A and B are shown apart, each in its own frame.
Chain A
């Protein structure tokens, strides 16, 4: 029996509290307070302000995505959480402790409650899967018997109990990351940091690993912080998101809110990547600027919100008595909310009259669907 599969049967969880921009939540798992991180000039390279004015909290038990382009400061941010790096200014509070103030043995003890997984897995090639998972336990001074029992438990948890004695060179990418996850969870941490953990994996394996992380979050209550440059990862897994650009937080909050109403250009570009905003080529090539008698007006409607687009076309057709054509549509689900766009064809009058178009736009505006006229097709 496979423990990984049994994990998949879980109860849906209530959406966690929103990220507070003021970082005042009493029950935040991780809280950044006025963080700045500067790398000094070194060997002719100029200094870099990697992070500035970082102030936000990660709710306990949440899955929070930190998304940004490369160089946005994601890696520095995540390394502040487990004390691998120190902030130049400000404090990082993890589970009510100021980790940025710890050093030496105290820091090492605190690090045992923070697990981390990596893009390139970082497994020891000289150790089997089981021995890799045992490493943090050996370091924490567990007894051999305790380690053995815990490792067996972890291998089952990540669904690779049969790979116990395999060396990393004998494992696939997905299996290696499962070992990495088991190792990160070995000391029962309260936070799991994922640094681009699926960026080296194919889409199918990525999905399986993200499912595993979701189950771990649900079953063990571990707070997960996902560093990624891939919108698909945030969309599939995260409930909260922090958008980083050039070392600053440009937006943060519920995934659904942020991506249904993106404000910052960088957020909009991530969204466009995820849902694809362009028209099909065959349609785009036919669009004209002037109406043609008996043709269609092309209107694009933005769909944002729970179940928002479901009945839109049917209602529009029924309430306005129009033969609405659906020219193209793309609707995705992000954080339980529908996000996408419908491209509709509204029939023009015999002489090219736009009465129906005007009524349609008024109706859409009445129900608060953002819409724009792209042009006309014959």
Chain B
């Protein structure tokens, strides 16, 4: 493989990491509070607001049921509003974030609901405010589940990022389509696939390792 091609792969990997990294970060910034809210706002819960819970639930489901490639093109005007342009890696972060936040929210909700309800009662019994309960009880206790959720979200984002080539987002997926498929360069396709597999493995292993480390002190050895 020529140095030019290798250079292309390195550049595309950089773009992918950039898009996925920022989107995962922003997805967590929006998804974590949303997930905590979804997990604590049903009737009789900490932030009981059943009506808002239902509305958010519907929005989350709607976003999650829209195919990502449709989402990317459907929100182009919004992307332009936020990023100033609808083309390029930075612009691609907008749909990636919008797709990952509800996904992360659902995973966070599930992880938070796993926490023993008795702990909420306990913290309430010594006068913890709802915010303190979230920060000092729910999130620390759900941490292993939250780390695995985030890992899963990053892996999904790596997959999604292959589709943003449609709006000139660049990245490994785009490289694979343009060089590997359209220019019939099977070695390029193979290289892209190998790099993606390596990235997914790396992310998954790191996530597993962290979750296990946090978990080890929680459960019986």
Contact = CB atoms under 8 A, between A and B. Distances in A.
A82 to B, nearest CB: 5
B123 interface: yes
Given A124-B141, A167-B218, A169-B218, A139 B118 contact: no
Given A122-B121, A167-B218, A169-B218, A127 B127 contact: no
A125 B119 CA distance: 10
A112 B128 CA distance: 9
Nearest to B122: A122
Contacts, number: 72
B122 A116 contact: yes
Given A126-B218, A167-B217, A108 B118 contact: no
A112 B125 CA distance: 8
Contacts of B141: 124-126
B183 interface: no
A135 interface: yes
Contact of A126 (B132, B217, B221): B217
A82 B140 CA distance: 25
A136 B119 CA distance: 12
A112 B126 contact: yes
Contact of B127 (A111, A183, A184): A111
B203 to A, nearest CB: 24
Contacts of A193: 125
B128 A126 contact: no
B218 A125 contact: yes
Contacts of B122: 116, 118, 122
A233 B220 CA distance: 30
Interface string B70-106: 0000000000000000000000000000000000000
Given A124-B141, A125-B141, A167-B218, A116 B119 contact: no
A103 interface: no
**Interface size class, chain A:** 20 to 34
Interface in B207-221: 214, 217-221
Interface residues on B, range: 20 to 34
A215 to B, nearest CB: 22
B164 to A, nearest CB: 37
B54 interface: no
A82 B125 contact: yes
Interface in B118-164: 118-119, 121-129, 132, 136-137, 140-141, 143
A139 B140 CA distance: 15
Contacts of B187: none
A333 to B, nearest CB: 33
B116 interface: yes
A139 B121 contact: no
B128 A108 contact: yes
Contacts of B118: 118, 120, 122
Contacts of A306: none
Would you call the interface of chain A mostly helix, strand, loop, or mixed? mixed
Interface in A111-138: 111-112, 114-116, 118, 120, 122, 124-127, 135-136, 138
A22 interface: no
Contacts of A169: 217-221
Given A122-B121, A167-B217, A116 B137 contact: no
A112 B127 contact: yes
A352 B198 CA distance: 100
Given A84-B121, A127-B140, A169-B219, A122 B126 contact: no
A186 B136 CA distance: 17
Contacts of A105: 129
B127 A139 contact: yes
Contacts of B143: 126
Given A125-B141, A135-B136, A116 B219 contact: no
B221 A84 contact: no
A136 B218 contact: no
Contacts of A136: 126-128
Nearest to A128: B217
B139 to A, nearest CB: 9
- Which of A126, A139, A169 has its CB near the most chain B CB atoms (within 10 A)? A126
Contacts of A187: 126
Contact of B116 (A114, A122, A170): A122
B137 A108 contact: no
A284 interface: no
20 contacts: A82-B125, A107-B127, A108-B128, A109-B127, A112-B127, A115-B126, A116-B125, A118-B118, A120-B118, A124-B137, A124-B140, A124-B141, A126-B214, A127-B140, A139-B128, A139-B129, A139-B132, A169-B218, A169-B221, A183-B126
